Structure 1
Amino acid sequence: MMAKLHAFMFGFLALDSLVVSYRDVISPDMVGSIWGPGSGCRRRLSFLEGGDGTEIILPPDIEGEWVSSSCEVRSGPEFVTRKYRFNSDLSFLLLQFYYSDHHCEQPSYSLRIRGQVHLRDASLADVGATHADYDLDRISMISFNLESADRLRSALNSTCLKEIGASDQFQPNDRVHILNLVHGKHLVDCAADIGLSLHELQLIRQQTMSRRSDEGKRLEWTELLLGDVHSDVKSRNTYRPKTFQTPLRKHVENDKDCEICQEVHKGSEGQPPVLPKRTAFVPAPLHGEWASLTCEARPMYFLTRHFIFLGNTTWEAHYHFYSDPNCRTPIYSLSLKGTHSQPEPSKNVPGGTIVNLHSLGMLLTPQHRDMVRTLNMLSKGVCAGKAWKLGPTYDVTDTAECTSLGSLVPSTEYELVKIEVDPLYGLVMFLGQMPSDGSGKYEEHKRPTAYQEPLVHCEGEDPRQRVQNNTNHNGCSICVVSMWTWLGSLWCYLLVVNM
């Protein structure tokens, strides 16, 4: 359906055809303050559109130590921190720490991984990224409690248990080698049994980030983005990354701007880091406006997001799509509106909130001449009741005559959300991650268990005030937790990119 549109959209190079920017887009039926001249969200997204604050390094220079800046969440859910060191010859020592809680306070087991990465060519599909291959020499594992040891032992098949000498003994704090290349000849490899894949090393992007703190201090740091991990554990060994997971931050001695980074740096295979808690709210209070922190990467495209929760179970979302990793070349914009269910604490993802998003209306704004030509080619000029033109915003809620776009609304997506306080950005919101196979979240069993990049609170009512008001009114407190959330729900509407 939308695969055709996807292929056409990103097949052009005529960037001089660009005439419409984010600042020119108007959505007349939406009420979000993003269209107001003083909107903090508008200023933030205009800043991102100019490519400010991010500089991509090509080819990447990954030598050094890279650490997690948060308790990362992978589908499952899995709660993870990472400490990766790359040497000048690109040999590496990777430490992965797994936890049984969403605060990353209770270590479950750790992995120590040795090998070497080989940088290849620049990626054409993921602009700004570099393809790579890797070789593994040894992987060792240490569990830190009986429950974890029993679970890992049961995951290993009998052949692996015999080869690694763990048939009878697999106790907490014992080091067990689950991959070992002996004299370059005999390979013992049991990594797949526990769902471990290092294919994240196949896609690499490095970038420098800068921003000013509330006190006016200029902050700069360097990030390493590695390939995404498949949302289905069984598919991780055959999946080649198409986008990125949570960035790692380059370690700098006495980095006072990232307390978690310092804690991860001090961690070792036998003594995983224990992270400080972040204040979070469950269920997440859906109020105010939220915008992207960076130009976000997705398979084959880039975007910024702006969500508005009006506090009366109604919401809006504005997506702006670009062809470059600095979000300087707009392709089109998509706006959605609808209602949502009452947020509830997630039973499957500690620290998360579940909510159902009902989409009732959609607007589309072409921002590039080649996009206009593509839409007219696919719809034969009848979409939205008229031929597509550059600039105007079209109501595409009723797509009955626009078969190439498919029937997008009305629909319901099953979402996962989290709101927490970040020490650098303040109040942030995480929305659910799309399944790696590109399928939608239109069924309850497809509700996400991991998150995408955070959105920062940029305008409107502060949800913390609403929480305080509710606490005072009801005489009870709201649970405070921590974890990443996500709302990739409307991503499916970006069917124009058919993940």
Structure 2
Amino acid sequence: MCLLLLSFTPSSPFQSGVSSSSGEGTCELPPSKLHPAKPPRATPGTFPDKKKQQQQQKKKKQEPRRHAGLPSPWQEPREKATHLRPSCPSSRGQDSQLGLPPLWEVGTWKESQPSRSLPHRFCSSASFQDLGVASECAMLPSWCLVGLLVAYASGKKLWDVPTSQVDQNGPVKLHWEPQCQYQLRHLQDGARISALLPPRLDGHWVSTGCEVRPGPEFLTRSYMFFPNRLFKAYQFYYRDPACQDPTYSLVIKGKIRLRQASWITRGATEADYHLHKVGIVFHSQRAMWETVARINQSSGEHCSEFLPAGRTWAPGALYELLSAKAGRDCTSGLGFAMHELSLVRVEKYQPPLFLQQNQGNGEVEELYLGDIHTEWSERLHYRPTGYQRPLQNAMHHIHPCPACGIVYRADEHHPPLLPEKPELPMLLTGRWVSSRCEVRPAVLFLTRYFIFHGHNRTWEGYYHHYSDPLCKQPTFTVYALGHYTQGAPSFIVRGGTELVFKVTHARVTPMDQITVTMLNSSDFGSCGEAGLWHIGEEMDVTHTNGCAALGIRLPHMEYELFRIEHDAKDRSLLYIGERPTDGSSPNTPSKRPTSYQSPLLQCGGPSAALAKLSKSNFLRRLSDDVGSGAAKTLPQVSLLAFLSIQLVRWD
């Protein structure tokens, strides 16, 4: 479609064959074709002079074309008609002539500014006859037609105008905006996340990958909630972090009742649950012996003979661990509890526009259940105040998700075996940012942004704290920096890497009045300069050895656990060790984490090794594409060269 953005003189009796008054990219027929001119009406008491009208019509037919205000393509137009000629400016400065912002400033078009010039990319349509303006388009210089042939040979429609994304969901990414800042800004767009209150649990919810619980425990989950408040849950446990070597599966049946909104964790709903039955299925003889030994030693007397020590493993056999009717409970030896059901939150999540390919309507539903205490001895009595890794609705999950379908089809006799993932080296160099608004125990909502410098093993971290579960109401920001040691493989958590981090400097920026009041009322010398804190103003707290009011101590050392993975979209994810539930710091080797927090997404600065690998893969794909498409583009290139020569001769 050719966008001929021409203007005309209203007082002229001859108007251009194309007009554009709205600037929305539509071509209109000349007014003379849409509304034929009517003969002048006679004034009262007079009659039209027919002879005079015939002479005027004859004169019009004999009048040269240039008198109509339509210049000949071989002649320079009159000075008054210069604005009627469609111009095809060079590529230099064409965006400013259009009245549009440069493409590197804003990713959307400003359609409110009309234009009087026609860039060459808008002069590349061959279907002018459909608009009834063949004579006007014949005036276009031949080099504009060459541009049309270039578009045809390249296979890309240069006349495709970018559509405005103002009405679409999610924020529009500015072309000059770094990906990390865009990701943080996107997390604060509350319009894309909606929390259902009270939450609707009905449906089938599955794990999106292999999960790691404190211990460590590797598992996947598949929970089904029914309209009558009954539920059936599967928990599949594994020996490896890839969830490919299953040990046993648990079948849990019970009933859940939602109570009220949580007074502790904003956005969550408290619930009561009652277990009816819990059964276990072993998947190997070794798993059976190890699990039975734990049950017989840790459970009560009525479970001491849960299974004879020398019992032979029977594939597919289901053994009852808990029965409400019989009053028997042998689950304590496994550290099993379903306290996660006592804290519930359901979110509808709209992924970013650039991630919605092949996702249908793009809507994702996530189920957040209560977190698991990091101390094994506290697990059976702990009431959660945070969340685990969310489950996703089997009917509304993110795409692609190879694990979702596998977990959805699994049962206690056929545990899911997830696809194998390669072990990636611990290459931290680059920038990593939170993929969602994170929730920690003791009601902490935050996002994280880290920068790692591999050449000298230094790091920078931005911790943005908020008072709401959507991370829209900031309270304070902490900037910390320090250095870290070279990692070593973990012997406790398979697939993890152990590192030691040291924090040497920190700066704090209060973002609300409550935080400012708290910092100004702190003890002298305990947190920067007391009485000088202001909203939005950063202050260094290194000289006061941190900030006691916010729990920051300097210098500070932490023993960490890291892991790097690739998701289904081949993006790099960084898992950092989960913080202790009691709010303390992992400042000793014995407190080193055995599970992970929500993953961070790499948003910039990949390591040299990964960049080299990506470049080699890109060049390989490019050579394949060129080899396969060379034969297809050869006729088009030949046709382009031939027609270009002919057009040059024609001019």
TM-score tier after normalising by the smaller chain length: 0.7 to 0.9
Q: Distance in 2 between matches of 1:254 and 1:58?
A: 20
> Given that residues 564 and 574 in structure 2 are in contact (C-alpha distance below 8 angstroms), is that contact kept between their aligned partners in structure 1?
yes
Question: Gapped runs of 5+ residues in structure 1?
Answer: 1-35, 472-499
C-alpha distance in 2 between matches for 1:253 and 1:320: 30
Query: Which SS does the other structure have where 1:439 is aligned?
Result: coil
The aligned residue for residue 310 of structure 1 is 453
1:334 Cα deviation (Å)? 0.4
Partner of 2:538: 393
Residue 363 of structure 2 aligns to a residue whose secondary structure is strand
Question: Which residue number corresponds to residue 262 of structure 2?
Answer: 123
- Equivalence for 1:322: 466
Q: Aligned pair 1:43/2:182, yes or no?
A: yes
Mark the CA change 1:330 to 1:95 in structure 2 (over 3 Å): closer, same or farther.
same
Q: Look up the match of 1:293.
A: 435
Q: What is the SS of the residue equivalent to 1:148?
A: helix
Identify if the C-alpha distance between structure 1 residues 458 and 144 changes in structure 2 by more than 3 Å, giving closer, same or farther. same
Map 1:154-173 onto structure 2 (within 5 A): 154-157=293-296, 159-161=301-303, 164=306, 169=311, 171-173=313-315
* 1:433 matched residue in structure 2: 578
Let me know the Cα RMSD of the aligned residues: 2.4
The residue type equivalent to 1:336 in the other structure is A
Higher helix share: 2
What does residue range 254-269 of structure 1 map to in structure 2 within 5 Å? 257-269=400-412
The one of 343, 359, 363 equivalent to 1:220 is: 363
Structure 1 residues 340-390: Cα deviation after superposition (integer angstroms, max 9, x where no partner): 101222121111111111111001000001110111122369842352111
> Quick one: which amino acid aligns to residue 448 of structure 1?
P
CA separation in 1, counterparts of 2:304 and 2:552?
54
Gaps of 5+ in 2: 1-174, 617-651
Instruction: Determine the C-alpha separation between the residues in 2 that align with 1:376 and 1:134.
Output: 45
Conserved in 1, the CA contact under 8 Å of 2:369 and 2:388?
yes
The amino acid that maps onto 2:606 is: E
Q: Whole-Å Cα distance in 2 between the matches of residues 403 and 79 of structure 1?
A: 37
Match of 1:24 in 2: none
Cα 1:242/1:464, change in 2 over 3 Å: farther
Asked if 2 retains the 8 angstrom alpha-carbon contact of 1:384 and 1:402, the reply is yes
Q: 1:51 offset after TM fit, Å?
A: 2.1
> Partner residue of 1:418?
563
Q: 1:165 to 1:442 in 2, by over 3 A?
A: closer
Deviates more, 1:47-56 or 1:396-405: 396-405
| Stretches (4+) displaced over 6 A | none
- Greater gyration radius: 2
Mapped partners of 1:215, 1:401: distance in 2: 40
Q: Which has the higher contact order (CA 8 A, sep 6+)?
A: 1
Give distance in 1, aligned partners of 2:556 and 2:524: 25
- Output the amino acid matched with 1:246: R
- The TM-score with structure 2 as length reference comes to 0.63
Say whether the 8 Å CA contact 1:99–1:108 is kept in structure 2: yes
CA distance in 2: counterparts of 1:407 and 1:255, whole angstroms: 37
Query: Of 179, 186, 203, which aligns to 2:322?
Result: 179
Alignment correspondent of 2:606: 461
Write the letter of the residue equivalent to 1:145. Answer: S
CA deviation map 1:435-484 (0-9, x unaligned): 22222111111111100001101122346526859x9xxxxxxxxxxxxx
Whole-angstrom distance in 2 between the partners of 1:431 and 1:326:
22
Q: Indicate the residue corresponding to 1:141 in structure 2.
A: 280
For residue 148 of structure 2, what is the aligned residue in structure 1? none
Whole-angstrom distance in 2 between the partners of 1:104 and 1:401: 41
Spell out, residue by residue over 1:95-143, the C-alpha distance to the aligned partner (whole angstroms, 9 max, x if none). 0000011110111000000100111110122111100111011100011
1:204 aligns with 2:348: no
Deviation, structure 1 residue 75? 1.1
- Amino acid in structure 2 at the alignment position of 1:242: T
Question: Quick one: distance in 1 between partners of 2:458 and 2:312?
Answer: 53
CA distance in 1, matches of 2:460, 2:547: 23
Provide closer, same or farther for how the CA distance between residues 364 and 63 of structure 1 changes in structure 2, counting only shifts above 3 A.
Answer: same
Label 1:63 to 1:148 Cα distance change in 2 as closer, same or farther (>3 A).
Answer: same
Match of 1:194 in 2: 334
Indicate if the aligned counterparts of 1:209 and 1:222 stay in contact, CA closer than 8 A.
Answer: yes
Percent identity, please.
Answer: 36
- Retained in 2: the 8 A contact 1:285–1:343? no
User: Relative to total residues, which structure has the larger strand share, 1 or 2?
Assistant: 1
User: What is the aligned partner in structure 1 of residue 554 from structure 2?
Assistant: 409
1:386-432, Cα deviation, whole Å (9 max, x unpaired):
52111110101122596545661111111111111111471111110
Task: Look up the match of 1:251.
Answer: 394
Please tell me whether the aligned partners of residues 93 and 115 of structure 1 are also in contact (alpha carbons under 8 angstroms): yes
Secondary structure, aligned partner of 2:528: helix
CA distance in 2, matches of 1:201, 1:407: 33
Q: Give the Cα–Cα distance (whole angstroms) in 2 for the partners of residues 401 and 227 of structure 1.
A: 32
C-alpha deviation, 1:81, in angstroms: 0.2
The letter of the residue matching 2:313 is Q
Q: What's 2:591 paired with?
A: 446
Structure 1 counterpart of 2:231, from 89, 92, 104:
92
Q: Which moved more, 1:389-398 or 1:93-102?
A: 389-398
Q: Whole-Å Cα distance in 2 between the matches of residues 156 and 401 of structure 1? A: 46
Distance 1:150 1:215, change over 3 A: closer
How many equivalent residue pairs? 431
Aligned partner letter, 2:322: L
Asked if 2 retains the 8 angstrom alpha-carbon contact of 1:72 and 1:80, the reply is yes
Partners of 2:570 and 2:260 in 1: CA distance: 34
Distance 1:152 1:124, change over 3 A: same
Q: How many angstroms apart in 1 are the aligned matches of 2:414 and 2:560? A: 35
Counterpart position of 2:488: 344
1:76 corresponds to which residue?
A: 215
Q: Is the 8 A contact 2:371 2:385 kept in 1?
A: yes
Task: Check whether the contact 1:149–1:172 (CA below 8 A) recurs between aligned residues.
Answer: no
Alpha-carbon separation, structure 2, partners of 1:409 and 1:401: 5
From 199, 205, 208, give the equivalent of 1:60.
199
Q: Distance in 2 between matches of 1:362 and 1:132?
A: 40
Q: Which amino acid aligns with 1:204?
A: V
Give 3-state SS (helix, strand or coil) of 1:244's partner: coil
Partner in structure 2 of residue 360 of structure 1: 504
Look up the SS of the partner of 1:141 in the other structure.
strand
122-131 or 161-170: bigger deviation:
161-170
